[in-house]
Amino acid sequence: MELEIKCLECGKRTRRFEMGPAVFTPGGCEEILLKDAITCPKCKRDISHEKCVTPSGMFMITLMAIAIGMKGKKDGYFNLPSHLRGLVIVTKENYDMLKAQSKASIKLVNKL
Is residue 28's pLDDT more than 80?
no
pTM summary value: 0.84
Three-class HEC string of the chain: CEEEEEECCCCCEEEEEECCCEEECCCCCCEEEECCCCECCCCCCECCCCCEEEEHHHHHHHHHHHHHHHHHHHCCCCCCCHHHCCEEECCHHHHHHHHCCCCEEEEEECCC
35-78 tens-digit pLDDT: 999 999 999 999 998 899 999 998 889 888 888 888 877 787 77
